[in-house]
Amino acid sequence: MTALGYNPFDYEIHEDPYPTYARLREEAPVYRNDELDFFALSRHADALVALKDTERFTNTHGVSVEKSASHPAAHLAMSFLGLDPPRHTQMRALVSRGFTPRRVSALEPRIREMAVAALERMRERGRSEFIADLAGTLPMDVISELLGVPSPDRTELRRWADLLVHREEGVFDVPRAAAEAFGKIWGYFSERIAERRRAPKDDLISALLAAEIDGERLSQIDIQSFCNLMIVAGNETTTKLLANALYWLWRNPDQRKLLADDPRRIPRWVEETLRFDSSTQAIGRVTTREVTMSGVGIPAGKRVLVLIGSANRDERVFPHANAYDLERDTTSMLSFGHGAHFCLGAALARLEGRTVLEEFWKRFPDYEVEPAGCARVHSVSVRGFAALPLELRHG
């Protein structure tokens, strides 16, 4: 057996991290990477503690494992993902006004309309590169409409967002292209916010400019960092969820038959995909004091990578965890985090996933994936497809 090693920059890990995760859970649940100076937690119980305990595992250095992105000013780029309570609570309360259950559910007709339009274009061709045709465009359109981003600007924003999460082989930090993409997104939203200050509209940026709690309003930097977060998190993770769902159902014909027998299982399809192959594979924290996890001491001030993708495959919580099972109880999955930092956009991601897959399944229950053309993204934290070609069979 080869020596156990885990490097989140490794392209082989991006292709299939799960065998390595299984070994980590059994052989080194608190894994130390000396070269990159971080610890990794692979078991569900440890991951849950790290996600919940904001006193011992702080977000104030952000959620990245890269050294250049992990620092006390991370909130300037990551919004409230780089903050702890009470400041986190205050800022989240302000921005969450754009994600109330009523506001999210009101988006369903527009999401369905966009999905149907894209799917009908795909039907005409009889095949699709699913990322380019729908999965990569619809989430960006939804977030853009919320923020008030004009349609002509969205393709370039998506390209910058993709560059921001892409990691080049052999580079163990934020590559130059990603840093430049961040600067472009930052500049873009600086201009949009200035426009809304002069002439407010019915969009989330205008709402954030007007929102206040106890007389406090969000600063320019607060709003810019939140827009950056939304464009990346709101676009990348849902894009990956949609493609992962099609790919894994195709790989599991027994589950496909279950869905064919009862399409009301589509919400379960979304949930099991989130567990089985989470879009967000890892998220960073920094210890504020010495902690002991699974019998291993972690000193204060150390970066800790919480391996969500591994925790979701922990057999201690999910029996037969490596089976893709639409009938499974997924309530303990950590795909959207846990506690104070539970994903603000979870309801929107689920809504997009369910709505798109309902419309897809109506039209193309006999779709086939063309594996030779599949390509994965290369990212430290995000897992999914950069290309997913489909043959679309329909009556």
Place of tokens 């009301």: 264
Residue 30: pLDDT band (50, 70, 90) is very high
Model's pTM, two decimal places? 0.93
Above 70 in pLDDT, residue 213? no
Measured CA angle at 47 (ends 45, 48), to 5 deg: 65
HSE, CB side, 13 Å, CA atoms: give it for residue 83.
17
Cβ-based burial of 150 (10 A; exposed 0-12, middle 13-18, buried ≥19): exposed
Residue from 44, 38, 82 nearest 62 by CA: 82
Residue 73: pLDDT band (50, 70, 90) is low
User: For residue 126, what are its two tokens?
Assistant: 């009889």
- Per DSSP, 127 falls in state E
Is the previous residue joined to 86 through a cis bond, with omega within 30 degrees of 0? yes
CB of 64 closer than 8 Å to CB of 284:
yes
Residue from 373, 392, 374, 369 nearest 384 by CA: 374
Above 90 in pLDDT, residue 100? no
CA distance 104 to 345: 9
pLDDT reported for residue 204: 87
**Residue range 11-391, CATH number:** 1.10.630.10
Residue 51: pLDDT band (50, 70, 90) is very high
Phi, psi of 65 (to 5 degrees): -90, -20
Residue from 339, 334, 336 nearest 311 by CA: 334
Above 70 in pLDDT, residue 395? no
Give the orientation angle of helix 253-261 with respect to helix 220-251, to 10 degrees.
Answer: 100
CA distance 337 to 312: 11
Give the residue, 165 or 37, on which the prediction is more confident: 37
- pLDDT tens digit string along 185-197? 999 999 999 999 9
Residue 69: pLDDT band (50, 70, 90) is low
Residue 293 in 3-state DSSP? Answer: strand
Which bin fits 211, alpha (ψ -120 to 50), beta or left (φ > 0)?
A: beta
Contacts of 228 (CB under 8 A, 6+ apart): 77, 78, 79, 182, 185, 186, 189
User: For residue 382, what are its two tokens?
Assistant: 């995000």
Domain locations along the chain: 11-391
- pLDDT tens digit string along 120-175? 999 999 999 999 999 999 999 999 988 999 999 998 988 888 887 777 776 666 77
pLDDT reported for residue 60: 87
Provide the mean pLDDT of the chain: 91
Place of tokens 């007007």: 210
pLDDT reported for residue 68: 66
pLDDT reported for residue 313: 98
| Alpha-helical segments (H) within the chain | 11-15, 18-27, 44-52, 75-78, 87-95, 101-105, 108-125, 130, 138-147, 154-165, 176-198, 204-210, 220-251, 253-261, 266-276, 308-311, 346-363
pLDDT reported for residue 138: 95
- pLDDT tens digit string along 298-356? 999 999 999 999 999 999 999 999 999 999 999 999 999 999 899 888 999 999 999 99
pLDDT reported for residue 84: 86
Residue from 28, 25, 31, 26 nearest 43 by CA: 25
Residue from 366, 355, 368 nearest 112 by CA: 355
HSE, CB side, 13 Å, CA atoms: give it for residue 183.
7
pLDDT reported for residue 103: 83
pLDDT reported for residue 358: 98
Residue from 130, 136, 185 nearest 160 by CA: 185
Residue from 242, 232, 231 nearest 128 by CA: 242
Residue from 136, 125, 116 nearest 355 by CA: 116
Percent of the chain with pLDDT over 70: 97
Above 90 in pLDDT, residue 50? yes
Residue from 4, 37, 9 nearest 19 by CA: 4
- pLDDT tens digit string along 248-302? 999 999 999 999 999 999 999 999 999 999 999 999 999 999 999 999 999 999 9
- pLDDT tens digit string along 353-392? 999 999 999 999 999 999 999 999 998 888 999 999 999 9
Measured CA angle at 266 (ends 260, 271), to 5 deg: 130
Residue 178: pLDDT band (50, 70, 90) is confident
Measured CA angle at 330 (ends 42, 255), to 5 deg: 110
Give the residue, 395 or 301, on which the prediction is more confident: 301
